């Protein structure tokens, strides 16, 4: 048994994705939603151990609290102060964060973008944005500009990249339109209702990633395609992160094609919706 801890979790795509993968590989596993209200996290993660669970995903609003309560943390989970995957082992509960490595896999394998020596513009400073920033820094990005509604609220992103060789600049949203970037990433909810971001002129060789996957096409993606640039939504990233969790629990390579088909079908049917900010589930 594995599952997802969050509040709420009724909108998560993770049960659809993982159960399709378990079925495809003929694994006797099941993935279940586990709604855990605020204040009950300690009991919930202890219950994983007591009930014989192999692990769990963690979604909002519990990622940071779980990071403070597990027995051990990986390096990425420590840097991000957030856990989105728990592995139950003989030594206790280990907290992982697959957001950063998932974004790296997505960029390299799906988008064909190599960050080393390049420049990127990132909108947002929340958990998803910090994971993207960490992945880019690990990948050797030369310059990162982060656009924030309030540039004074930059402590989280600066702490995440402390000691990294990547040059970091913080700008207000209004100043983002003048930034040079090979990669543009939207890690905010802007665009879900048709809003536009102050994006700089895009070259045809630029790559644009909108972490939203509802709606299927956002204004940012449309703008990128009109400029001849490559544009991607958030579904590919979601799948790569889910795949990393799957590998941690089962030790097997997940069938990404099956997981993708299940997610696309659920979205097309108007199935589970994921709350904003949860890029894993």
d(CA 280, CA 13): 9
Which positions ≥6 away from 45 have C-beta within 8 Å?
5, 56, 66, 69, 70, 86, 93
Structure tokens at 184: 């543009």
Structure tokens at 149: 């509604």
> 277 forms bridges with which residues in the sheet?
none
CA dihedral 244→248→254→257, nearest 10 degrees, is -20
For this structure, is 63 an active site residue?
yes
Which positions ≥6 away from 234 have C-beta within 8 Å?
209, 210, 211, 212, 213, 279
Structure tokens at 194: 């048709």
Q: Report DSSP state, residue 116.
A: T
Which positions ≥6 away from 99 have C-beta within 8 Å?
76, 80, 82, 84, 127, 128, 131, 132, 135, 241, 279, 280
d(CA 192, CA 148): 18
- 40 vs 49, 190, 275, CA distance in Å? 15, 31, 20
Which residue of the set 18, 62, 63, 96 is catalytic? 63
Distance of CA 249 to the CA centre of its chain: 18
Task: Give catalytic residues, as residue numbers.
Answer: 63
């Amino acid at each position: 048994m594995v599952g997802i801890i969050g509040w709420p979790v009724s909108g998560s795509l993770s049960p659809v994705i993982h159960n399709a993968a378990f079925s495809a590989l003929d694994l006797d596993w099941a993935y279940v939603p586990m709604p855990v209200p605020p204040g009950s996290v300690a009991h919930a993660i202890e219950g994983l151990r007591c009930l014989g669970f192999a692990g769990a995903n963690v979604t909002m609003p519990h990622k940071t609290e779980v990071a403070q309560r597990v027995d051990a943390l990986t390096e990425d989970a420590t840097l991000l102060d957030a856990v989105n995957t728990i592995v139950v082992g003989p030594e206790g509960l280990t907290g992982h964060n697959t957001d950063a490595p998932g974004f790296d896999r997505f960029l390299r394998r799906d988008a064909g973008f190599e960050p080393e020596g390049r420049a990127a513009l990132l909108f947002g400073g929340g958990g998803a944005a910090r994971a993207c920033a960490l992945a880019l820094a690990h990948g050797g990005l030369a310059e990162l500009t982060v656009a924030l509604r309030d540039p004074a609220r930059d402590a989280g992103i600066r702490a995440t990249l402390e000691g990294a060789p990547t040059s970091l600049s913080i700008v207000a949203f209004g100043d983002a339109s003048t930034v040079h970037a090979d990669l543009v990433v939207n890690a905010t909810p802007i665009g879900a209702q048709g809003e536009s971001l102050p994006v700089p002129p895009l070259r045809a060789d630029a790559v644009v990633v909108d972490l939203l996957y509802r709606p299927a096409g956002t204004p940012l993606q449309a703008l990128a395609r009109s400029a001849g640039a490559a544009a991607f939504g958030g579904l590919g990233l979601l799948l790569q992160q889910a795949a990393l969790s799957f590998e941690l629990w089962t030790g097997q390579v997940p069938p990404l094609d099956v997981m993708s088909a299940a997610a696309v079908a659920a979205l097309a049917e108007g199935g589970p919706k994921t709350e904003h900010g949860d890029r894993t589930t």
